[in-house]
Every structure is written in C-alpha cells, then in structure tokens.
Amino acid sequence: MMRAMMEGSSFYQYLQSVQAYISPPIAAAFLLGLFFKRINAKGAIFSLWTGFALGMFRLVFEYLMGEEIFVPADGTLLHTLITTNFLHYAIFLFLVCSAVMIGVSLTAPAHSAEKLKNVTYERPPASKEGFSTANSDFWLTVLLILAVLTIWWFFSPWGIA
C-alpha cells in the first residue's frame, strides 16, 4: 500500500491526510490559547496528546483497512471513524481537542489578569476620534479589498484570463 500511496495523486492525498491528523490539535491549542483566557498549559498538553492519539489511531487503522489486515463490520462506529473523509475527521478532531482543552482547563483556577497581559488577545481601547474616512488605514483597506476583488474577477470565468 505504501508503494501505491507514493504514486500519482494518492501520494498527495496521503500527505494531506497525515497533515489533517496532525494539525487540528495544534490549531486548537493556538487559537484557544490566544482567544480564551481560561486555557492553561495542562489543558493544552492534555488536548495535544488526545489529538495525537486519535490522529495516529485513524492513520494506523486506515492503513490496516487498506491492506485488508483489519476490516471492521459496516455500520459500526469504528468503520465510520475510519472511512469518514479525512477532512471531516480533521473537523471532528479539532472539535474534540477543543472540548478536551476547555474541559481540562476549567478544572484549574483562572490565571490573574496581570499574568495574561500581552499573552492573550484583548480588544484595543476605543479610539477617541472614532471612524473617519480621513484615516489612511481606511483607504488602504479599501484598496486591498479592491485589489482582491480585481484579481478574483480577472481569474474568474467572467474575467479576462
């Protein structure tokens, strides 16, 4: 099977599936750690190990099923977990890792605001001047949006290219 995976488009799909089994726990730890003040190291580590175990579980059983060494019965939970599209499994893995991280982190006391300063995201204080079209950031944003839309149109079926 490994030789077959190394040939053609199946090699690309194999690399993408491995990436889909590795990255969701890392993304969950990064995003929740940045935006959720109650996340702590214990929750992140527990979530990363859970994601690693579930990802390797899927990778091993996907290989065993491909080689017909182990074929679970149709309709079982194991069969569903192994045969689900790898991108859908990545979403499942992200959600499970997020839930584990939040659950484990909530068992510990919250960190002080001083300890979280410059570590987690905080909204900037409201500007005294408010929204103004005289602000250069406004016009740069408009220019960026127009550039993206122009490139999108250029390469779309209605465009020139």
- pLDDT tens-digit readout, 49-97: 999 999 999 988 888 887 778 788 888 888 888 888 888 999 999 999 9
Task: Report whether 161 contacts 154 (CB < 8 A).
Answer: yes
pLDDT beyond 70 at 161: no
H/E element, 152: helix 136-154
What sign results for the dihedral spanned by CA atoms 103, 108, 110, 115? Answer: negative
pLDDT for residue 6: 53
Mean pLDDT over 102-127 rounds to 79
Distance, CA of 148 to CA of 59 (rounded, Å): 38
Measured from the Cβ of residue 74, the count of other Cβ atoms closer than 10 Å reads 8
Task: Report whether 63 contacts 70 (CB < 8 A).
Answer: no
pLDDT beyond 80 at 136: yes
pTM of this prediction?
0.70
pLDDT (tens digit per residue) in 4-47: 555 556 788 888 888 999 999 999 999 998 888 888 889 999 99
